[in-house]
Structure 1
Amino acid sequence: MLKELYIENLAVIEKADIGFTGKFNVFSGETGAGKSILIGAINAVLGGRAHKDLIRTGESRASVTALFDSVPEGVAAKLAENGYPADGELLIKRDISADGKGQVRINGMPATAALLKDITSGLIDIHGQQDSRILTDTANQRALIDGYAGLSGKLAEYAEKFRGFSALSRRIKQLEADNERKDERIEKLTADIDAVEKLGLKKGDEAVISEKLNRARNLEDIAAALTGAAGQTGGDDSERGAADLTEAASKLLNGISKYVPECVSLSERLSALTVELRDISADISALLPDDDESGSLQVLEEKMSGILWLKRKYSLETDEILDLCEEWKKELDELSECDNTLAALNEERHRAAEELKAAAEEISEKRKTAAAKLTDEITEQLRFLDMPDVRLRFDITPGKITVNGMDNVELMISVNKGEDLKPIAKAASGGELSRIMLAIKSVSADNDDTPTMIFDEIDTG
C-alpha cells in the first residue's frame, strides 16, 4: 500500500510530504490546485514518463519519493528476482533533471525506468474517467464476470482444450485437402522413388562410379601399358625381361667369385633383385582387366547418365536426392494410411468437441451464477453512490464456441425508474460510468491483489 509520498520541485509544487491512511483518502480542490500533479508524481514512481518540463520553473531538478508497505507477493518476487532487498517495505525515488539525465532508485539501489515499471505493475491501479469506457466493451464485461467468479484456472484449462481442438481441426482440414489430390500425389511419388531406386545408388556411389567409368573408358591403354610393363620386368615367351637379365648377370659374377671375392655380395644382390622383379611383374599382371570389366563400360555409362539426369531434374546433388527419396517414402506411407488416419483423427476430434462443449457449458453456468451475485453487489454500491433507482443485469446468451467460451455477454442498465434495460454503452453517461466503475472496483477489491486504487476525477459528469 502507498504509505507516503514526498514531492519536491514538481510543476507548481515546491515541497509536499503526504501521508496516506490505510483506508479511504480524498483529494479535492479547484482546477489548477495540483491534483493532477499528484497523479503525475505517482505515475513517475511507477515507471511512467517523467519529462523535464515537469520541473518547477527556476529549478534544475525535481524528485518524487514513495514509500510502500505490505508489498504484494508478486512485487516482492520481482524485487528478489532482480536483486533488490524486499523486507515488506519498498522505497522508490525518481529524480528528474533539466539536462534529461534522470535517476531511479529502488530501496537505495539504481534501476532503469523500464525495470521500475515492470516491478511496480502490481502496486497501484490508477483509474481515470476515460478508463470507464472499457465498461462499454462486451469483452471487458465478460472478463469482469470471470474475474469476480475466479474463473482464471478454469478458463486456462478450457483454452488449452480449445487450442487442442483447433489444432486437430486444422490437421484434418489439411489431410482432407491432401486427400483430394492423393492419387495424383501417390502416382508422382511412386514415379520419383522408382527413378531413384532403379539406379541402386548408395551415398558416395557417384564418386566411385565416376572413377570406374574413367578406368573403363581408358581400358585398352591401361591393358597395353600393364602388359608391356609386366613383360619388360618379368619377361615373356618371346623376349627376356629385366628379371632374366639380372639373373644372368648374377650367374656371371658368381662364376668368377673365387677369383674376385667382391663379386660374391654383388651376385647375391642381383639374385635378390631378380626375385623382386619377378614379384613386381606378377603384381603388374594382376592389375590387368578381366573379361567382366571389359564389358562394364556400357553399364557404367548408363548408370552415370541416370545420375546426371536425376541431378538435372531435381537440381540437387546425388546424396541430397537419396535423402529426399527417403522423405518421399515416408510421405507415400502416410498417404497410403491417409484414410485410416483421417478416421482416427475425426473420432478424436469428436471426443475433443464433446469435452470442449462440456467445459464451455460449465463455465457458462458459473458465469450466470456469478453475474447474478455481482449485479446485486454493484447495485448495492451504486445506491450508496446516489443512484437509488439503478437496475443492472448481465445478459448471457449462447453463441459460437471460441477460446473464451460459448457466451455472448452484454451488461444492461436502467438508471431511472420506469426505464427499460438497455446496453450500458447506450444508456449511461460519463459520470454514471465513473460511478459504476467505482462500484465495480469496490466490489472486486477482495479479488484484486493490488493494494492501492486511485480514482482520478471520479465525480466528473
Structure 2
Amino acid sequence: MIEEMRLRDLGVIQQAVLPIGAGFTAITGETGAGKTMVVTGLGLLLGQRADFGAVRAGATQATVDGVWNVPDSGPVVERVRDAGGDIEPLPGGRAELFLGRSISSEGRSRASVGGRSAPAGVLADLADELVVVHGQSDQLRLKSATAQRDALDRFGGDDVARAATQYRAAYETHRALANELDKLTTDRDARAAEAQKLREEISEIESVAPTAGEDDELAKRAERLSHVEELRAAAALAHDALSGDPNLPDVISLAADARRALERSGDRDATLTDFAAQAADIGYRATDLAAALAGYLADLDDSGPHELAAVDERRALLAGLVRTHGSLGAAIALLDTGSARLMELDDDDDRIVRLTAEAEAAASTLDDAAHALTQARTEAAGRLGAAVSEELRALAMPDARIEVTVSPGAESASGRDDVAILLAPHPGAEPRPVSRGASGGELSRVMLAIEVVIAAVDPVPTFVFDEVDAGIGGAAAIEVGRRLARLAESSQVIAVTHLAQVAAFAGNHLSVVKESDGSVTASSVRRLDGDEREAEMARLLSGLSDSDAALTHARELLALATSDR
C-alpha cells in the first residue's frame, strides 16, 4: 500500500505531502485546487507517459516521490532488485519501497526505484503489482477483453485457477510436440540431405583413418626426406670427426690419449685423476654419439624417393580432410558426433510416427483441459454476473443487469474462451459490452461493483478511483461510499471525490486547499479531523463551510458512516 506521496511543482501544487496509509482515503477540494494532480502524480509514479505541460508555471521541473509498504519478498522486490534498487526492511515481513519521478519543463523525464535511477518502464512493471487506477477516461480494466477474462478468473478462485493451470500445462506440451513434428516433417528433405552429406564425410574420414597429430609428424618427415643428401653429408662428417679413419686423429682416440696421460700422473695429484675421469666420460659420450650417427646414416640409406612420394600422398589425403573440416582434430571428432547425429536423422520416420501418436494424445488431453476450463469459467461467470447485478441495485442502477458471457475464442495459453462483461441498463434492453453500453458514470459504478465483488476473493493491494461518483448523488452516493469502505476492508482505497456522502465513509480525509497571492496559485494538502472535516463536508454539501444546516447534515453523514464500520 501507499504510505505517503510528496508532490512538488506539479500543476497548481507547489508542494504537498499526502499521508495516506491503510483503509479508505478520500481526497476532496474546490474545483481547480489540484485534486486531479494527485492522480496525475500517482500516474507518474506508476510509469505513465509524462505530460511536460504539467510542470507548474515558473518551475523548471516537477517531482513526485512515493513510499510504499510491500512484502519483503515476491515479484515486487525481485523486480526492484533486478533494476539495481533495494528496499528498507520493516518488522513482520514487510518493507518500505521508495519510488520517484521527475519531469522537466524542457521535456526530460527521470525515474528512481529503490534509491537507484531506472527507466520509467520499471515503474510501469511495478504498477501491475502495486495499484489499480480507475478514472472517468481510463476504464481499461473493463474495456480490455483480456482484463475482463482476467477479472473473471480472479473471481473464479481456486476452481478456475486449477483448471487454468492444467490447461496451460497441456497447451505447452501439445504446442512443443506439434512444433517438433512440424519441424521434422517440414525439414525432411533438408534432413535427408544432411544425412547423405554426413555419410559421405564419415566414409571419407574412415577411409583415410587419420590419427591425432599425424599431419604434424608427416610434415616433419617430409622435411627430412626432402633434404636427405644434405643430412647424410652432415651426419657422415660428424661421424668421421668422432670415430673416423684409424690413421687420423678423431675425438674418441684423442679423448683416450688425454685420459691415459692424466692417469699416469694421477698418483701425484688427485686432481688429475678427476680430470682423467672426465676425459673418459667424454670418450664414452663420443662413442655413443658416433653409434647414433651410424644408425641415423643407415636409416637415411634406406630412405628414397619412393618414401617421400608415399609421405606426400598421405599428407595430401589429410590436407583434404583439413580443408573440409577446418582441422584434423575436427575431422576425427566428427566420427563420434557425426555418427550420433546420423543415427538421429536416420530415425526420422520412426520419430514422426511416435511424435504423431504423442501429439494426438496431447491434443485429446488439451481438449479435455480446455473443456474443463470453459466449464469452470462459465460457472463463475453466472455467479459474477448475479453478484455484480446485486451490487448495482444499491448504486442507483436498480434495473441494471450484468451478464458475463463465455464463448468460443481463438486458442491461446489462456484457453479457448472469449469473456465479455455485458450491461443491460434497464429491463428489455439488449445486453451490450460495458465499454459501449454504459455512460461514464455508469461505467464507474459497474467497475466499482465488479471490484467490490472480486476483492472478496482476490484483493488488490491498492485501488485509486478518480471521480467514481460522477453523475450520482443522494442515497446512491451513500452506497458508493459504503462500497468503497467495504473494498477498503481488504485493500487500500484512495478516492478523489466531490461528494460528502462518499467522503463521509473514509477513515482518512485529505483536502486539497488552494490559496492565491495574486500572482501565483499554489495548493497544499491537509488532513482533516474534527471541526475542519465537518466544515469541508458542509462545503461539499452546500458550498458553504459555515452553514448550520450543512454542518448538521455533515455530522449526520459522519455519524451514519461511523455506525456502519
State TM-score, norm by structure 2.
Answer: 0.64
TM-superposed deviation, 1:68: 7.2
TM-superposed deviation, 1:439: 1.7
Q: Tell whether the 8 Å contact from 1:105 to 1:111 is kept in structure 2 after alignment.
A: yes
* 1:98-117 paired onto structure 2 within 5 Å: none
* 1:184-263 paired onto structure 2 within 5 Å: 184-235=193-244, 242=250, 246=254
Q: Matched residues in 2 for 1:63 and 1:459: separation?
A: 29
Most deviating of 424-433 and 362-371: 424-433
Q: Tell whether the 8 Å contact from 1:375 to 1:393 is kept in structure 2 after alignment.
A: yes
Aligned to 1:416: 426
Aligned to 2:372: 362
- Residue 392 of structure 1 aligns to a residue whose secondary structure is strand
Q: Tell whether the 8 Å contact from 2:174 to 2:363 is kept in structure 1 after alignment.
A: yes
With over 3 angstroms needed to count, the CA separation of the structure-2 counterparts of 1:165 and 1:197, relative to structure 1, is: same
With over 3 angstroms needed to count, the CA separation of the structure-2 counterparts of 1:89 and 1:230, relative to structure 1, is: closer
The residue identity in structure 2 corresponding to 1:360 is A
- Residue 430 of structure 2 aligns to a residue whose secondary structure is coil
Aligned to 1:437: 447
TM-superposed deviation, 1:184: 3.4
Aligned to 2:142: 135
The residue identity in structure 2 corresponding to 1:307 is L
The residue identity in structure 1 corresponding to 2:406 is I
TM-superposed deviation, 1:174: 2.0
TM-superposed deviation, 1:363: 1.6
TM-superposed deviation, 1:374: 0.4
- Residue 296 of structure 1 aligns to a residue whose secondary structure is helix
Q: Matched residues in 1 for 2:410 and 2:110: separation?
A: 51
Q: CA offsets, 1:79-137, max 9 Å, x none?
A: 9972414247969797979999999999xx96658688777765542211233254333
Q: Tell whether the 8 Å contact from 1:232 to 1:240 is kept in structure 2 after alignment.
A: no
The residue identity in structure 1 corresponding to 2:90 is A
TM-superposed deviation, 1:400: 4.5
Q: Which segments of 5 or more consecutive residues in structure 1 lack a partner in the other structure?
A: none
Q: Matched residues in 1 for 2:449 and 2:183: separation?
A: 50
Q: Tell whether the 8 Å contact from 1:249 to 1:267 is kept in structure 2 after alignment.
A: no
Establish whether residue 145 from structure 1 lines up as the match of residue 152 from structure 2: yes
- Residue 467 of structure 2 aligns to a residue whose secondary structure is coil
Q: CA offsets, 1:417-457, max 9 Å, x none?
A: 22333444553444433332222122122244434422213
Establish whether residue 401 from structure 1 lines up as the match of residue 411 from structure 2: yes
Establish whether residue 306 from structure 1 lines up as the match of residue 317 from structure 2: yes
- Residue 343 of structure 1 aligns to a residue whose secondary structure is helix
Q: Tell whether the 8 Å contact from 1:196 to 1:322 is kept in structure 2 after alignment.
A: yes
Most deviating of 3-12 and 406-415: 3-12
TM-superposed deviation, 1:157: 4.8
Q: Matched residues in 1 for 2:60 and 2:413: separation?
A: 53
Establish whether residue 392 from structure 1 lines up as the match of residue 402 from structure 2: yes
- Residue 212 of structure 2 aligns to a residue whose secondary structure is coil
With over 3 angstroms needed to count, the CA separation of the structure-2 counterparts of 1:218 and 1:17, relative to structure 1, is: closer
Aligned to 1:371: 381
TM-superposed deviation, 1:210: 0.5
The residue identity in structure 1 corresponding to 2:464 is I
Aligned to 1:282: 291
TM-superposed deviation, 1:324: 4.3
Aligned to 2:90: 86
Q: Tell whether the 8 Å contact from 2:76 to 2:129 is kept in structure 1 after alignment.
A: no
Q: CA offsets, 1:162-193, max 9 Å, x none?
A: 22322222222222234334443332211111
- Residue 393 of structure 1 aligns to a residue whose secondary structure is strand
Q: Tell whether the 8 Å contact from 1:5 to 1:65 is kept in structure 2 after alignment.
A: yes
Q: Tell whether the 8 Å contact from 1:63 to 1:95 is kept in structure 2 after alignment.
A: yes
Q: Tell whether the 8 Å contact from 2:44 to 2:101 is kept in structure 1 after alignment.
A: no
The residue identity in structure 2 corresponding to 1:310 is L
Q: Tell whether the 8 Å contact from 1:7 to 1:64 is kept in structure 2 after alignment.
A: yes
With over 3 angstroms needed to count, the CA separation of the structure-2 counterparts of 1:198 and 1:251, relative to structure 1, is: same
Higher relative contact order (CA 8 A, sep 6+): 2
- Residue 407 of structure 2 aligns to a residue whose secondary structure is strand
Q: Tell whether the 8 Å contact from 2:389 to 2:401 is kept in structure 1 after alignment.
A: yes
TM-superposed deviation, 1:277: 4.1
Q: Matched residues in 2 for 1:457 and 1:399: separation?
A: 35
Q: Tell whether the 8 Å contact from 1:50 to 1:96 is kept in structure 2 after alignment.
A: no
Most deviating of 321-330 and 375-384: 321-330
The residue identity in structure 2 corresponding to 1:35 is K
The residue identity in structure 1 corresponding to 2:311 is L
With over 3 angstroms needed to count, the CA separation of the structure-2 counterparts of 1:121 and 1:143, relative to structure 1, is: closer
Aligned to 1:446: 456
Q: CA offsets, 1:143-173, max 9 Å, x none?
A: 2211111344653453344223222222222
* 1:296-375 paired onto structure 2 within 5 Å: 296-314=307-325, 316-375=326-385
Most deviating of 445-454 and 368-377: 445-454
The residue identity in structure 2 corresponding to 1:375 is G
Aligned to 2:37: 37
Q: Matched residues in 2 for 1:330 and 1:18: separation?
A: 68
TM-superposed deviation, 1:36: 0.7
With over 3 angstroms needed to count, the CA separation of the structure-2 counterparts of 1:206 and 1:176, relative to structure 1, is: same
Q: Tell whether the 8 Å contact from 1:138 to 1:409 is kept in structure 2 after alignment.
A: yes
The residue identity in structure 2 corresponding to 1:347 is A
With over 3 angstroms needed to count, the CA separation of the structure-2 counterparts of 1:62 and 1:174, relative to structure 1, is: closer
The residue identity in structure 1 corresponding to 2:314 is K
With over 3 angstroms needed to count, the CA separation of the structure-2 counterparts of 1:347 and 1:282, relative to structure 1, is: same
Q: Matched residues in 2 for 1:223 and 1:54: separation?
A: 96
State TM-score, norm by structure 1.
Answer: 0.76
Aligned to 1:455: 465
RMSD over aligned CA atoms reads 4.8
Establish whether residue 177 from structure 1 lines up as the match of residue 186 from structure 2: yes
Aligned to 2:516: none
Q: Tell whether the 8 Å contact from 2:4 to 2:21 is kept in structure 1 after alignment.
A: no
